[in-house]
Amino acid sequence: MATVKYVLNEDQMPTAWYNVAADMPSLPPPPLHPGTGQPLGPADLAPLFPMALIMQEVSTERAIEIPEEVQQIYRQWRPTPLYRARRLEQALDTPAKIYYKYEGVSPAGSHKPNTAIAQAYYNKQEGVKRLVTETGAGQWGSSLALAGAMFGLEIEVYMVKVSYNQKPYRRALMEAYGARVVASPSTETAAGRAILAEHPDSTGSLGIAISEAVEMAVQREDTKYALGSVLNHVLLHQTVIGLECLTQMEMAGDYPDVIVGCTGGGSNFSGIAFPFIGAKLRGERDVRVVAVEPAACPSLTKGKLAYDYGDTAHLAPMVRMHTLGSTFVPPGIHAGGLRYHGMAPLVSHLTELGEIQPIATQQLETFAAGLQFARAEGILPAPEANHAVAGAIREALRCKEAGKSEVILFNLCGHGHFDLQAYTDYQAGKLKDYEYSEEEVAMALAGLPSVG
């Protein structure tokens, strides 16, 4: 019983990204200025992003052309393979067919370069010399570092201090690509210094690191900011994943009944799901879409859909999203890429519209799923991706119970070769589950701004 792989030729690679905004019955409300609370126009975003990305952020065109230079870099690892997980199906003894798209073949080991390469390209085109960003566990930072090397841009990464100290290997990868990595909070920014003055031992958070990166970007003429998830243009770039899947599922002679992805900020999930959701919104094919988030950071399942700040120092725009509050600090689960207090506005809006069904899984379930997957399919998933694996296994077992031969498609967004400490801890019985009480969530949400 072997795994079956569906490989596209390079000439079958998408030449345009898919913009789900074109097919949505309504759009999410606009981002607001963090100081004034007024809707933001393109000019307000210009200090942060190049105009091409700002235009993508507000575009309602269905197809947005992928520049040839971006396609050339994509082709180093794209199109990525789609697999039929026959050995996992056998292990689960399920009548369901399980397919997975594998994004871990990129040089950074995850889906993040899909947008890092595009963002670096547009910045380079507009004469930007330097990009500043934040990173938690390091997947995004190393992808932007890679993109910087490809396009000759300087990259500065504010890395959450606890990860900077605990994950020196991610930092080493960024530095190998030539990036400068700074532990956040740092003394380099006013935001960082303010935090350190109050909490000298602060281990940092994504919210603080975003504040520092934004501050450093707007100060310098030749410098812009880059974000690895949440925003519309970031999700747009990730749709190459789902667009390839559409062709590959056709090769396989199947169409997914259910699509499963893990959600932190929402980018890998949107990448695989949006092209299929679009087909549904256009009335072409039905599909059920499941977003799996960690129970330790349950923005979609326990958060509130409201305007909130994207960062701690309130320098970044406010967006309407499912949020646990910009001061929420989730426990140190190993799926670092899913530890964001908010959610992409497009994902939140589609959830509100009933197009996405969110669920939360506990850490122990996801690691058990990841190990079962690795022993069946050979690939060790990243802890983030284990959430998608766990969701797919739940669906496959539901099919088994119901005697249904449904088609399940999930996104294996990265490999776990950088995350072996997590597996060591799991196998040593050191990991714990987390459950929030209604009171804790209410307390976290109490600080939401009163706008929108």
Which stretches of the chain bind a second copy, using CB under 8 A?
2-3, 5, 7, 9-10, 69, 72-73, 75-76, 83, 87, 105, 107, 109, 146, 149-150, 168-173, 175-178, 371, 374-380, 415-418, 420-421, 423-424, 427
Contact 157, 172 (CB under 8 A): no
Q: Are strands 63-65 and 16-18 parallel, antiparallel or unpaired?
A: antiparallel
Residue 24: C-alpha distances to residues 29, 266, 269 (Å): 13, 17, 17
Nearer to a second copy, 168 or 447 (CB): 168
| Tokens found for residue 360 | 């939360």
* Residues forming a β-bridge with 182: 158
What's the CA angle centered on 433, arms 105 and 160, to 5 degrees?
A: 55
CB of 212 to a second copy, least distance (A): 23
With a CB cutoff of 8 Å and minimum separation 6, the contacts of 35 are 314
Nearer to a second copy, 51 or 374 (CB): 374
Nearer to a second copy, 42 or 378 (CB): 378
| Tokens found for residue 191 | 């935001």
CB of 143 to a second copy, least distance (A): 10
CB of 115 to a second copy, least distance (A): 15
Nearer to a second copy, 147 or 258 (CB): 147
Nearer to a second copy, 175 or 352 (CB): 175
> Using only C-alpha atoms, what is the Rg of the chain?
20
Q: Percent helix, strand, coil in the chain (nearest 5)?
A: 45, 20, 40
CB of 156 to a second copy, least distance (A): 16
Nearer to a second copy, 170 or 322 (CB): 170
Nearer to a second copy, 80 or 263 (CB): 80
The CA distance from 60 to 409, in Å, is 27
Quick one: how many helices (H) and strands (E) in the chain? 19, 15
CB of 12 to a second copy, least distance (A): 11
Nearer to a second copy, 8 or 20 (CB): 8
CB of 366 to a second copy, least distance (A): 14
CB of 88 to a second copy, least distance (A): 12
Secondary structure element (H or E) that encloses residue 321, with its range: strand 318-323
Q: Are strands 304-309 and 318-323 parallel, antiparallel or unpaired?
A: antiparallel
CB of 422 to a second copy, least distance (A): 9
Nearer to a second copy, 158 or 423 (CB): 423
Residue 308: C-alpha distances to residues 156, 305, 431 (Å): 26, 9, 31
Contact 337, 139 (CB under 8 A): yes
Residue 238: C-alpha distances to residues 44, 110, 230, 400 (Å): 25, 11, 11, 32
Nearer to a second copy, 169 or 255 (CB): 169
**Sheet with 4-6, edge to edge strand ranges:** 4-6, 82-84, 97-102, 407-412, 258-262, 288-294, 357-361
The CA distance from 98 to 196, in Å, is 48
